[in-house]
Amino acid sequence: MSVTSTSPAWRTARRTADEAIGLLARIGLAFTFWLSGQTKIEGLVLDPLGLHAQWGWPRLSDSAVELFRSEYALPLLPPEWAALLAATAEHALPLLLLLGLGTRFAALGLLGMTLVIEVFVYPLAFPTHALWAVAALVLVVHGGGRWSLDRLLRERARTGA
């Protein structure tokens, strides 16, 4: 038995692979930025890789502000604002990605952050940033996929439920 690109088996395999790519892009990008955001705050630690949690009120760390003052030094933004915006985005946007809620918006935000990091912070880290950008672009173009709240909400709106 031959599997061709028009066979039901091939279409099912392709659909499953497309969904897996989207889910992996969402999870990988979310974890990357979440873990970066965790380095900028104190009081709340939620480490999904180390399976460690410490509950407390999150606050911007002094070291994050100093990092934006000295090493990152973005143009046009005071270091306190830049650190706060980055820490907030690196927590809020990954949560949206994990839920698959506002996936295109969240991915576009992280793509913008990736471009800022590439241009102004670490221009020699292009290979890493290119992978982040590809994952974000996949999500901007294709959305959250079958396993997302975006899809659930879209289907509920379509059926009027």
Sequence-ordered strand ranges (E) for 8-145: 41-42, 45-47, 52-54, 59-60
Sequence-ordered strand ranges (E) for the chain: 41-42, 45-47, 52-54, 59-60
Domain assignments of the chain as residue spans, ordered by start: 8-39+67-159
Give 75-120 pLDDT, tens digit per residue: 889 999 999 999 999 999 999 999 999 999 999 999 999 999 999 9
Please give the C-alpha separations between residue 5 and each of 17, 20, 141, in angstroms, as whole numbers: 14, 19, 23
The structure tokens listed for 75 are 């143009």
Model pTM? 0.89
Of 11 and 116, more confident? 116
The reported pLDDT for the residue numbered 128 is 97
